[in-house]
């Protein structure tokens, strides 16, 4: 009985091994990127909410915190040339970089033009910090909001997500990345 329970617990742990990425810096700018609207650090749950937005266009950037252990390691079976990919149906953005492997989920879109949400990939350095532009969207009405959840994932989870979405037109692939 105990052996069966341990095996089930181990199996469940390997299926759900993403962890909240606390202290990811989320930056919200106007649609042209010329004005900072707000920024937040994700909490222990890896989540943050941008609320009470005015109508208009916005872009979301992330500074990913460095990860350790299994959230950094990869081996030859998990190597992929894909740097980022986006699941438009679930609004989940997957990223791999020197910091580790991550998923970013956009949810709780209120008073938003949901069709305006676009995945983007652009790297920039600001104050010696790498910022990744991941999304652009439009708030349709005053009081709009968006929730963002950042999770650290393993190389195997990243590869599985990119392989699954590989034929999707919204996948962005950059060569030469392990």
- Residues 9-34 have pLDDT tens digits of 333 334 446 899 999 999 999 999 99
Both tokens of 90, joined, read: 């679930």
Model-level pTM? 0.82
Encode pLDDT of 83-128 as tens digits. Answer: 888 888 899 999 998 899 999 999 999 999 888 999 999 999 999 9
Task: For residue 92, give every residue at least 6 positions away whose Cβ sits within 8 Å of its Cβ, in sequence order, or none.
Answer: 86, 103, 104, 105, 106, 161
CB atoms within 10 A of CB 116: 15
Burial of 39 (0-12, 13-18, 19+ CB in 10 A): middle
User: Coil, strand or helix: which one is 141?
Assistant: coil
Task: For residue 106, give every residue at least 6 positions away whose Cβ sits within 8 Å of its Cβ, in sequence order, or none.
Answer: 60, 91, 92, 93, 117, 135, 137, 146, 147, 148
Contact call for residues 11 and 115 (beta carbons, < 8 A): no
């Amino acid at each position: 009985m105990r052996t069966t329970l341990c095996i089930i617990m181990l199996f469940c742990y390997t299926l759900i091994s993403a962890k909240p990425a606390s202290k990811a810096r989320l930056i919200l700018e106007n649609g042209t990127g010329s004005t900072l609207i707000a920024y937040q650090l994700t909490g222990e749950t890896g989540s943050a909410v941008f609320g009470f937005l005015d109508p208009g266009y916005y872009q979301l950037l992330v500074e990913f915190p460095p990860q350790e252990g299994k959230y950094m390691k990869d081996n030859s079976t998990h190597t992929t040339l894909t740097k980022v990919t986006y699941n438009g149906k679930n609004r989940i953005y997957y990223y791999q970089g020197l910091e580790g492997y991550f998923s970013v989920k956009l949810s709780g879109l209120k008073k938003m033009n949901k069709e305006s949400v676009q995945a983007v990939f652009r790297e920039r350095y600001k104050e010696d910090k790498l910022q990744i532009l991941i999304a652009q969207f439009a708030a349709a009405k005053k009081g709009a909001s968006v929730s963002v959840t950042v999770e650290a994932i393993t190389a195997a989870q990243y590869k599985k997500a990119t392989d699954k979405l590989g034929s999707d037109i919204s996948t962005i692939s950059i060569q030469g990345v392990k």
